[in-house]
Amino acid sequence: MTAIRSVVLGCGSYLPQQILTNAQLADRIDTSDEWIVQRTGIRQRHIAAEGEFTSHLAINAAQAALANAGVDAQSIDLIVLATSTPDNTFPATAVAVQNGLGINHGAAFDLQAVCSGFVFALATADNFLRSGSFKRALVIGAETFSRILDWNDRGTCVLFGDGAGAIVLEAQEQPGKSSDRGVLTTHLRSDGRHKSKLYVDGGPSSTQTVGHLRMEGREVFKHAVGMITDVIVDAFSATGVTAEDVDWFIPHQANKRIIDASAHKLHIAPPKVVLTVDLHGNTSAASIPLAISVAVADGRVKKGDLVLLEAMGGGFTWGSALLRW
Ligand code: ACO
């Protein structure tokens, strides 16, 4: 028996040039490098330049992913772009990316699940590819969170950064075993009862303004580890995979303490955890593909490795994906 699997052909990322360190933040607001590192593990973040939009970051990441995959942009028939910081209210930033890549066939759309956006976008593209609707997809996470931060709110502005990451996925006929390459399983969850714990206080329909990010940090922290581990246990149950089988755990990079606690609860050994939060901060939907690109570029993630992804964010939304690289 054979099955269609969504196989990763390549990945790429892009970070804006400007770096903002904790020390530079401490010059502007009442905070310190020590406080930020101890509570979050973040040491610096990248900030998009004036006139540099989410679509620009996404196009750069997509081009890097296409080059890494060794495929032409014209072979892409689906673009799913996860972002909470679109260039405009509409059209979708994905169509700006499509146009920037010179593609005018197939479909391109945005997906909004905040920090879980990349896992939701991956699951969406995987379902389209496995159903036969499309053949080759770009799955992108791209954000300019610097544009929705209240730079006077020290409880939030120290946490986030800008960036983009992308992967190229292709539908391939496989024997369908867990040793075959491709996405093995995805699990998505949402619970809108928590929507006011992490939100942006503006929008076209409510205030006609863009608004700023607001967060009850402790409340997010309280729910994060339980939600993350639950949805990973779902991935293990669906596939028969155990924590020991996982080669690389590439979580959403929100906070080192959340990542460490989740890995510990799941018995995933620390050397298997890919961490980029120190250098990138929390780049929301971009954080997982950025971390993937780092771990592939430095030779850690290799063909055939079992890779576990997870994310949790505003909504709340949360999800996991298990794939054979
Ligand atoms: N620098 C110095 N002091 C600060 C800062 C700062 N940047 N921010 C807050 N403080 C102060 C507070 O004012 C408070 O002072 P007080 O005791 O005098 O009132 C004190 O530090 C403790 O504040 P808390 O908010 O209770 O600090 P906490 O230990 O919870 O750490 C943090 C805050 C880091 C936000 C933590 O709650 C957290 O990590 N939450 C998870 C949130 C997260 O990661 N969100 C990302 C988006 S969601 C996602 O991606 C999963």
Which atom of ligand 1 lies closest to the CA of 287? Answer: 50
C-alpha of residue 218 to centroid of ligand 1, in Å: 7
Atom index in ligand 1 nearest the CA of residue 257 equals: 39
Tens of pLDDT, residue by residue over 48-70, are 999 999 999 999 999 999 999 99
Q: What is the pLDDT of residue 176?
A: 81
- Residue-level pLDDT at 35: 98
Average pLDDT over residues 58-84: 98
Q: How far apart are CA 197 and CA 202, in angstroms?
A: 15
- Ligand 1 pocket, Cβ-based, cut-off 6 angstroms: 31, 35-36, 39-40, 115, 154-155, 158-159, 198, 215, 217-218, 220-221, 224, 252, 254-255, 282, 312-313
Token readout for 130 is: 């496995």
Query: How much is the pLDDT for 178?
Result: 83
pTM (predicted TM-score): 0.97
Has 11 been annotated as catalytic?
A: no
Confidence of residue 1 (pLDDT cuts 50, 70, 90): confident
Cβ contacts of residue 263 below 8 Å, gap of 6+? 249, 251, 269, 270, 272, 273
Helix, strand or coil, per DSSP, at residue 2: coil
User: What residues have CB less than 8 Å from 32, skipping those under 6 apart?
Assistant: 22, 26
User: Which domains, from first to last, does the chain contain?
Assistant: 3-174 (3.40.47.10), 182-324 (3.40.47.10)
Q: Are 290 and 283 in contact (CB under 8 A)?
A: yes
**Residue 237: φ, ψ to 5°:** -65, -40
Q: Which distant-in-sequence residues (6+ apart) come within 8 Å of 265 by Cβ? A: 225, 229
Per annotation, catalytic residue among 187, 252, 255, 280: 252
SS3 string, 135-163, reads: CEEEEEEEEEHHHHCCCCCHHHHCCECEE
For the chain, list the strands marked E by DSSP.
3-14, 18-21, 44-47, 78-82, 107-111, 136-144, 162-174, 182-190, 198-200, 213-215, 248-251, 306-313, 317-324
What is the rounded average pLDDT for all residues in the chain? 97
88 is catalytic: no
Both structure tokens of 47: 């900030």
Q: Pick the residue with more confidence: 174 or 212? A: 212
pLDDT for 62: 99
Spatial neighbors of 254 by CB under 8 A, at least 6 apart, are 115, 159, 224, 277, 282, 287, 312, 313
Q: Using CA positions, which residue lies closest to atom 22 of ligand 1?
A: 155
Active site residue 56: no
Token pair belonging to 68: 């890494």
149 CA to middle of ligand 1, Å? 15
Q: Cβ–Cβ contacts within 10 Å for residue 84, how many?
A: 22
Q: Of the listed 60, 115, 212, 280, which one is catalytic?
A: 115
Here the tokens at position 239 are: 């596939």
Is 125:111 a contact under the CB 8 Å cutoff? Answer: no
